[in-house]
Structure 1
Amino acid sequence: MIELADIEAAADRIAGHVVHTPTVPSPGLSELLGVPVTAKLELLQRTGSFKARGAAAKRLVLDDAERAAGVVAVSGGNHGIAVAVMAGALGVAATVVMPRTAPARAVEVARAAGADVHLTDGMSAAFALMSRLREDGLTLLHPFDDPVVLAGQGTVGLEFADDAGELTDVLVSVGGGALISGVAVALRARRPGVRIWGVETEGAQAMSQALAKGGPVEVPLSSIVTTLSAPTVSQLTYDHVAALVSDVLVVSDAEAVRGTVELAEHAKVWAEPAAGCLLPAARRVRERVGDDARLGLVLCGGNSTVADVVSWTERGRSPARVRVDQ
């Protein structure tokens, strides 16, 4: 288990390499949900998601031999962008493995930043190729099974704790679990009474299944939300979530896409479904805890294109076939 001191050290290390993103009350979301809502706008982070924090934290502790070898990472989109961009900024060669279902923009941005991008048929195949490339001598930059990366992602929670007003409950999206693990450590240390809730999408339920089974298990992946699609969580992230998180809620892809549209309409921010999934979950949390809730939402990324969202809604994945032009 990492500690608050690890996150504070990571914050000092990455200062100047990442953005201290805004934490703002959202009148639109407060009206929509019926209770006060504060949003942490991590979608305004460098590279468009929180992933820049963990990538920078890890890059800055690599020794000369590890830098010279170059790094390899597996990603559903955002981690690959962050690794590619931060590697370029620090003069390190990067290889990124993504499934073919990853957002086209993520592939384009990673390649434009100078990374060697490999595409595979699915996320499990991507993790397998990453392992083989690591055996060939590349330095692994794992998206979640690394305490340095986890501490870097935890700086989101450090800023949220410092900048937000009163909060009773904070919702965080879950893929491999590094973000929610780090945020939970920071918030539970700085604001002990705050409850932390995780959110997954159906077909990307690695953490909720791990909690049900008592440890990490491999799960089949079918969600359109590739940025949350880890085939398994790690023991590291499982241990943090099991100890510090109240529950992990699961919503449908359709609800996540609708949440993206609602964030655009009510919060005036363009988020990806990995953040949009928080809104349907927030409604459930409010039902559980009552009208005294003061909700915090970590809007983790904004790297979906308009074309992506239009495609998802027109394929009927959004309830009532919500259209983005309404």
Structure 2
Amino acid sequence: MVDITDIEAAAERIAGHVLRTPTLASPGLSALLGVPVTVKLELLQLGGSFKVRGAAAKLLTLTDAERAAGVVAVSGGNHAIGVAVMAGALGVAATVIMPRTAPVQAASAARAAGADVRLTEDMAGAFALMDQLQQTGMTLLHPFADPVVLAGQGTVGLELSDDAGELTDVLVSIGGGALISGVAVALHARRPDIRVWGVETVGAQAMTDALAAGGPVPTSLSSLVSTLSAPTVSQLTYDHVSTVVTEVLLVTDAEAVQGTLDLADHAKVWAEPAAGCLLPAARQVLARVGSDAKLGFVVCGGNATTADVFRWSR
């Protein structure tokens, strides 16, 4: 298990390489939900999501030989961008593998940052190619099975704890689970009474399936939210979520897309459905904990185009 000292060390390591993103009260979301809402605007991070934190944390620990070998990563979108941006900034060659269903914008952004982008037919194929390239000697930068990456993502939780007012419940979306794992560890160390809730979409529910099975299992992917579509979680993230997360909630794709539009209308930010899913999940949380809640949202990324979201909303 990663602990608060690991996350604090990651925060020191990546300082100056990533942004400290804003943590703000959201009057619009507070009015919409009827309780105080604070947003951590990680969609304003370099690369448009939190992923550069874990990438920086890992890249800055590599040996000269590991750097020279180049890094390989697999992604449904945002990890590819984060690895490409940070590897480019640190002078490390990066290959990122993405399924063809990943947002075109994400592949373009990764290429623009200097990465070699490889496309596969599906996410399972992307992970298989990642394994093959690792076996040729490339350095693996796994999105959710590496404790160094997890600690880097946990720096989001450190900043939220330092910068937010009173919170009772924090909602974090789950792909492979590194973000929520790190955030939950950081928050519980600093604010032990906070409840942390995970959110997945139906058809991208690897953590829900793992919790039901008692450990990581393959999941069937059908959600349009590619940035949450991990084919399985890792033992590392399962161990963290099963220990420090209150519950993992499921919402539909339609609810996640509507949540994106609601964030635009009420919070005045353009997020992706991986963050939009927090709004319908918040209504589930409020039904359980009551109207005295003070909510925090980790708005994890904004790498979806208006054309994408409007097409999905039809």
Structure 1 stretches (4+) deviating beyond 6 angstroms?
Answer: none
Distance in 2, Cα, partners of 1:239 & 1:194: 19
- In structure 1, what is the equivalent of residue 97 of structure 2? 97
Deviation of residue 279 (structure 1)? 0.2
Counterpart Cα distance in 2 of 1:135 and 1:223: 30
Match of 2:125 in 1: 125
Q: Partners of 1:45 and 1:84 in 2: how far apart? A: 14
Could you say which residue in structure 1 is the equivalent of 2:285? 285
Q: Which residue identity does 2:157 align to in structure 1?
A: G
Deviations 1:141-160 (A, max 9, x none): 00010000000000000000
CA distance in 2, matches of 1:223, 1:127: 18
Quote the Cα distance in structure 1 between the aligned partners of 2:95 and 2:257.
30
Residue pairs, 1:149-188, within 5 angstroms: 149-188=149-188
Query: Unaligned regions of 5+ residues in structure 2, if any?
Result: none
Count of aligned pairs between the two proteins: 314
Give 1:130 shift. 0.5
Which string of whole-angstrom CA distances, capped at 9 and with x for unpartnered residues, describes residues 25-65 of structure 1? 00000000010000000000010000010000000000000
RMSD of aligned residue pairs (Cα, Å): 0.4
1:35 maps to what in 2? 35
Which residue number corresponds to residue 304 of structure 2?
304
> 2 CA distance for matches of 1:210 and 1:302?
27
**Structure 2 residue aligned with 1:322:** none
User: What CA distance in whole angstroms lies between the structure 2 residues aligned with 1:16 and 1:307?
Assistant: 34
In 2, Cα distance between equivalents of 1:297 and 1:252: 18
The Cα shift of 1:311 comes to 1.1
In 2, Cα distance between equivalents of 1:206 and 1:240: 14
* Cα distance, 1:310 vs structure 2: 1.2
Partner in structure 1 of residue 266 of structure 2: 266
2:82 corresponds to which residue?
Answer: 82
Per-residue deviation, residues 270-326 of structure 1 (Å, max 9, x unmatched): 000000000000001011000100000000000000111111112xxxxxxxxxxxx
TM-score by length of structure 1 reads 0.96
Q: 1:197 matched to which residue of 2?
A: 197
For residue 239 of structure 1, what is the amino acid of its counterpart? D
Whether 1:47 aligns to 2:54 is no
1:60 aligned residue = 60
Provide the residue aligned with 2:138 in structure 1: 138
Q: Trace 1:5-16 onto structure 2 (pairs within 5 A).
A: 5-16=5-16
**Residue type of the partner of 1:281?**
A
Structure 1, gaps ≥5 residues long: 315-326
Identical-pair percentage: 75
Distance in 1 between residues matched to 2:127 and 2:245, nearest whole Å: 26
Shift of 1:140: 0.2
- TM normalised by structure 2 equals 1.00
Q: Distance in 2 between matches of 1:171 and 1:85?
A: 27
Counterpart residue type for residue 232 of structure 1: T
